[in-house]
Amino acid sequence: MDNFWDMKAKEIMQSFSEDKNYEKWKKDVLDPWNKKTGYTDKPRENSSSMLIKDLYMAGDLPVDAESRIGNPGEYPFTRGIYPNMYRGRNWTMRMFSGFGTPDDTNKRLKYLIENGETGLSIAFDMPTLYGYDCDSKRAEGEVGKCGVNVSSLHDMERIFDGIDLAKVSTSMTINAPAAILTAMYFVLAEKNGTPLDKISGTVQADILKEYIAQKEWMYPPEAHLRLIRDMLTYSTEHVPKWNYISVSGYHIREAGSSAVQELAFTLADGFYYIEMGINAGLNVDDFAPRTSFFFNSSINFFEEIAKFRAARRIWATVLKEKYHAKNPKSMALKFHTQTSGYTLTWQQPLNNIVRTTIEAMAAVLGGTQSLHTNSYDEAWALPTDDAVKVALRTQQIIAEETGITDVIDPLGGSYYLERLTCEMEIEAYKYFSEIEKMGGILNAVKAGYLQKEIADTSYKKQLRIEREDDIIVGVNKYVDKDEKPINTLKITDVAENGQIRSLEGIKKKRDESKVSRSLENLHKAMEDDSINLMPYIMECVRNYCTLEEISNVGREIFGEWKEPKIY
Amino acid sequence: MNGKNQKYTEAPVKVLLAKPAIDGHDRGIFVLAKAFRDAGMDVIYAGLLPTPEEVVDTAINEDVDVIALSLLNGAHMTAFRNVMEILRKKGVNDIAVVGGGIIPDEDKPALEKMGITGNFGPGTPLNVIIDHVRARAGEIRKLRANEY
Amino acid sequence: MNTEILVQGILRGDYRAIARSISLIENSGYKVRKDIISRIYRYGSAKIIGITGPPGVGKSTAIANLAPSLAVHGKVAVLAIDPASPFSGGAILGNRIRMQAALSSKGIYMRSTSNRLYNGGLSEYTWDIIKVLEAAGNDYIILETVGSGQADIDIMNIADVTCVFLAPGLGDEIQAIKSGIMEIGDIFVINKIDREGSYLAIKDIRESLNMSNKLETPVIGVNSLTGENYDELVKNILEIKNKNPREKYYRKLKMVVMEAIYDEYSDYVDGIEYGDNSLDEDPYTLAEEILGKNSNNLRKIKSRQQEY
- Give the ipTM of the model, two decimals please: 0.94
Strands C187-190, B14-18: pairing is: unpaired
Residues of chain A with Cβ-Cβ distance to B30 below 8 Å are 256, 455, 458-459, 566-567
Q: How far is A405 from chain B (nearest CA, A)?
A: 35
CB contact (8 A) between residue C100 and residue A439 = no
CB contact (8 A) between residue C97 and residue A562 = yes
CB contact (8 A) between residue B22 and residue A132 = yes
The pLDDT of residue A424 is above 60: yes
Confidence tier at A19 by pLDDT (50, 70, 90): confident
Which runs of consecutive H residues, i.e. helices, occur in A467-493?
none
Q: Say how many domains are in chain B.
A: 1
Q: How far is B93 from chain A (nearest CA, A)?
A: 25
Q: What is the residue range of B63's domain?
A: 12-131
Q: How far is B122 from chain A (nearest CA, A)?
A: 6
Residues of chain C with Cβ-Cβ distance to B62 below 8 Å are 19, 93, 111-112
Which pTM does this prediction carry? 0.92
Burial of A289 (0-12, 13-18, 19+ CB in 10 A): middle
CATH of the domain at B56: 3.40.50.280
- Return phi, psi of residue C117, to 5°: 65, 20
CB contact (8 A) between residue B63 and residue C3 = no
Give dist(CA A103, CA C163) in Å, integer.
57
Q: How far is C23 from chain B (nearest CA, A)?
A: 7
pLDDT of residue C305: 44
Of A130, A132, A466, which has the smallest distance from its Cβ to B125's Cβ?
Answer: A466
pLDDT of residue A491: 76
Q: For residue A165, give the DSSP letter.
A: T
Confidence tier at C143 by pLDDT (50, 70, 90): very high
pLDDT of residue C282: 81
pLDDT of residue C43: 94
The percentage of chain A sitting over the pLDDT mark of 90, rounded to a whole number, equals 86
CB contact (8 A) between residue A447 and residue C56 = yes
Residues of chain C with Cβ-Cβ distance to B4 below 8 Å are 29-30, 259, 262-263, 266
Residues of C with CB under 8 A from a CB of A: 56, 60-61, 92, 94-95, 97-98, 100-101, 169, 225
CB contact (8 A) between residue A466 and residue B31 = no
In a domain, B106, yes or no: yes
Neighbours of chain C (3+ CB pairs under 8 A): A, B
Q: From the candidates A215, A451, A562, which should be mutated to test the interface with C, based on the most C CB atoms within 10 A? A: A562
The span from the first CA to the last CA of chain B, in angstroms, equals 28
Of C94, C98, C225, which has the smallest distance from its Cβ to A567's Cβ?
Answer: C94
pLDDT of residue C177: 63
Tell me the HSE value of C255 on the side-chain side, using a 13 A CA sphere.
17
Of C98, C101, C169, which has the smallest distance from its Cβ to A565's Cβ?
Answer: C98
Q: pLDDT by residue (tens digit) across A224-244?
A: 999 999 999 999 899 999 998
Of B47, B62, B147, which has the smallest distance from its Cβ to C97's Cβ?
Answer: B47
In a domain, B147, yes or no: no
Of A141, A255, A567, which has the smallest distance from its Cβ to B79's Cβ?
Answer: A141
CB contact (8 A) between residue B24 and residue A485 = no
Nearest to C115 by CA among B12, A366, A541: B12
In a domain, B42, yes or no: yes
Of the listed ranges A109-113, A298-302, A304-308, A550-554, the one predicted with least confidence: A109-113
In a domain, B50, yes or no: yes
Q: Does A560 touch chain C (CB under 8 A)?
A: yes
DSSP codes, A225-277: HHHHHHHHHHHHHH-TTEE--EEE-HHHHHTT--HHHHHHHHHHHHHHHHHHH
Give dist(CA A331, CA A318) in Å, integer.
8
pLDDT of residue C34: 92
Q: From the candidates A138, A215, A473, which should be mutated to test the interface with B, based on the most B CB atoms within 10 A? A: A215
pLDDT of residue C120: 86
DSSP codes, chain C: --HHHHHHHHHHT-HHHHHHHHHHHHHSHHHHHHHHHHHHTTS---EEEEEE--TTS-HHHHHHHHHHHHHTTS-EEEEEEEPPPTTTS-EEE-TTTTTHHHHHHHT-EEEEEE-TT-SSSS-TTHHHHHHHHHHTT-SEEEEE----SS--TTHHHH-SEEEEEE-TT-TTHHHHHHHHHTTT-SEEEE--TTSTTHHHHHHHHHHHHHHTT-TTS-EEE-BTTTTBTHHHHHHHHHHSPPPPHHHHHHHHHHHHHHHHHHHHHHHHHHH--TT-GGGGS-HHHHHHHHHHTTHHHHHHHHHHHHH-
Angle (nearest 5°) at CA A201 between A199 and A204:
145
CB contact (8 A) between residue B21 and residue A141 = yes
The span from the first CA to the last CA of chain A, in angstroms, equals 31
The pLDDT of residue C119 is above 90: no
pLDDT of residue A348: 96
Confidence tier at C253 by pLDDT (50, 70, 90): confident
Confidence tier at C263 by pLDDT (50, 70, 90): confident
CB contact (8 A) between residue A127 and residue B35 = no
Of B25, B79, B123, which has the smallest distance from its Cβ to A345's Cβ?
Answer: B123
Of the listed ranges A490-494, C112-116, C155-159, the one predicted with least confidence: A490-494
A-B C-beta contacts closer than 8 Å: 94
Q: Which residues are within 8 A (CB) of A42 and not within 5 positions of it... i.e. 6 or more apart?
A: none
Of B45, B53, B62, which has the smallest distance from its Cβ to C94's Cβ?
Answer: B45
Q: Which residues of chain B have pLDDT under 70?
A: 1-6
pLDDT of residue A341: 96
**pLDDT, averaged across chain C:** 85
pLDDT of residue B5: 47
**Residue with more model confidence, C189 or A112:** C189
In a domain, B136, yes or no: no
pLDDT of residue C279: 65
CB contact (8 A) between residue C56 and residue A565 = no
**Residue with more model confidence, C208 or B86:** B86
Q: How far is C97 from chain A (nearest CA, A)?
A: 7
Superfamily holding C45-242: P-loop containing nucleotide triphosphate hydrolases (3.40.50.300)
Residues of B with CB under 8 A from a CB of A: 21-27, 30-31, 33-35, 37, 45, 47-49, 51, 73-75, 77-79, 82, 102, 104-105, 121-123, 125-127
Give dist(CA B38, CA A467) in Å, integer.
15
CB contact (8 A) between residue A566 and residue C101 = no
Kind and range of the H or E element at A400?
A: helix A385-400
Of the listed ranges A34-43, A447-456, C163-172, C290-299, the one predicted with least confidence: C290-299
Confidence tier at C151 by pLDDT (50, 70, 90): low
Confidence tier at C302 by pLDDT (50, 70, 90): very low
In a domain, B6, yes or no: no
Nearest to A155 by CA among A164, A166, A143: A143
**pLDDT, averaged across chain A:** 94
B-C C-beta contacts closer than 8 Å: 115
Confidence tier at C308 by pLDDT (50, 70, 90): very low
